[in-house]
Amino acid sequence: MMMNRPVRVRFAPSPTGPLHIGGVRTALYNYLFARKHGGKMILRIEDTDSQRFVPGAEEYILESLKWCGIEIDEGVGVGGPHAPYRQSERRDLYLKYALQLVEAGWAYYAFDSAESLDARRKEAEEAGRAFAYNHEVREELETSLRLSKEEVEERIARGDQYVIRFKMPVDEIVKMDDLIRGHVEVNTSTLDDKVLYKSADQLPTYHLANIVDDHLMEISHVIRGEEWLPSLPLHYLLYRAFGWQDLQPEFAHLPLLLKPTGGGKLSKRDGDKMGFPVFPLFWTSPTTGETARGYREDGYFPEAFINMLALLGWNPGTEQEIFSMQELVEGFSLDRVSKSGARFQPDKAKWFNAQYMHHKSNEELAAIYQPILREHGIEVSDELAGKAAGIMKERAQLVTDLWDLTSFFFVAPTTYEEKQAKKYWKGENPRILKEVRDVLASIDDFSLEHTEEVVHAWIQEKGYGMGQVMNTLRLALVGAGKGPGMYDVTAFIGKEECLKRIDNLFENLTPAE
């Protein structure tokens, strides 16, 4: 791996919709690589495909990266010495480079209409072969390779639409190196002549724009998804055509994120079918109104989400699974990135989040839980919010679990779990609960330890069953057979609330015969 120049990587998404978690992982690996080598992380928005542009998608990308803790050193939203960083704002730049390739004999004008190309494709299909726009046909078609210079100039002058295509060399072996996949060789005769520039919208295609921008932005390493691997020979040849071989970046193509079943790329449909998000944040399409779940809104911590993503395709070489961002930076290397696809596991994602939940302090939990409490009309101190979440955090996987697990701390039950009521709200239990009420009412020091000591001594003295007493009390205070130890509940809600909830049970539920 060349390290004889400053490391500069870029994440270059297209604003065509919400950012898939595969894209987030690409951004993350770029970020980790940059930080590991003291380099810069650049964000470039590749919005040259005007047909697929989606309003709000760029803002979604920026907010997603911010939530994930992926810091941008230079680019959209930050600025820098190579501005602008949106390709649509650089559109005047690309024609110059496309024309440079035409002048050097590396590209040519093509005036073919969509109808004529469709006819060619149909003709090829009828002959049992696929149509390719390549060295075999380019001098037969309406191109500057066949037309006279004067005719080409005349057609451009009168406004005929054209594209500029790369002139792929014939029968040449392109030798390439990938930091993940190793050495690759491709014969150019198997490749077609890709479009580089379109006069219709005066915009370049991805191939031209990303090569020009990577060069001008001094990108040292291109770390991107494996879907771009087939384009690598063209990109190598473009660097050669421009005479930029000595400054060509090194390439690394990341493996796909696969469906939980292992077959094929992870998609939104998989998430919808199996009940998990495939995007970092909630998304509403501004054109169709269609929505997509997000990890943030589903109750995941950004650091857990990032930890989970980092290990989908990268192996640290140890048994360690929980990593802080700094630990990921220190441990990350491209030579430990897998060549094969990484199967996404929804349950493992929840497991990661649970590990982070269990290690949160009450202060951290309070900050997370307070907005949820306010949504339910509960106004309490940070201390109480954090304490409630802290008591139940070992049973929570997601932030969204906290309300269901702790709501009884803040809201007295008005209904009672049928199964629990049938089992415990009968026989002698109502009479025993009245006695428990009297015991609780007599306690001045209502701390967890003292209350437990007094009640346990009383139960032993009376000879009652511990489960019989505690489960009946739980029905009154919680309304269901769930929750932490009963003395956690009594200490949290206090004496008056305990007595009130016991009275409510007698008022609202008739004991079974």
Q: Does residue 105 contact residue 167 with C-beta atoms inside 8 Å? A: yes
3-state helix, strand, coil in the chain (%, to 5): 50, 15, 40
Q: Are strands 203-204 and 195-198 parallel, antiparallel or unpaired?
A: antiparallel
Q: Which of 268, 482, 495, 500 is catalytic?
A: 268
- The strand order across the sheet containing 107-110 reads 107-110, 163-166, 195-198, 203-204
Angle at 10 between CA 281 and CA 184, to 5 degrees: 110
DSSP state of 37: T
Residue 286 has φ and ψ, to the nearest 5°, of -70, -15
> Comparing C-alpha atoms, which of 131, 241, 236 is closest to residue 173?
236
Q: Give ∠ CA 42-46-47 in degrees, rounded to 5.
A: 140
How many angstroms separate the CA atoms of 133 and 147, rounded? Answer: 17
Whole-angstrom distance, CA of residue 210 vs CA of residue 191 = 19
What one-character DSSP code corresponds to residue 414? S
Amino acid in the structure at residue 36: K
84 preceded by cis ω (within 30°)? yes
Q: DSSP letters along 16-77, please? A: SSS--HHHHHHHHHHHHHHHHTT-EEEE-B----TTT--TTHHHHHHHHHHHHT---SEETT
Contact 305, 68 (CB under 8 A): yes
Output the six-digit token pair for 476.
Answer: 């009154």
Distance CA 481, CA 417 (A): 7
H or E segment at 23? helix 21-36
Neighbours of 16 (CB within 10 A): 14
C-alpha span between 10 and 209 (Å, rounded): 14
Bridge partners of residue 314, in order along the sequence: 337
- Using alpha carbons only, how large is the chain's radius of gyration in Å? 32
265 is catalytic: no
**How far is residue 90's CA from residue 83's CA, in Å, rounded to a whole number?**
9
- The rounded distance, in Å, linking the Cα atoms of 479 and 371 is 25
The secondary structure element, H or E, covering residue 462 is: helix 448-462
Residues marked active site are found at: 268
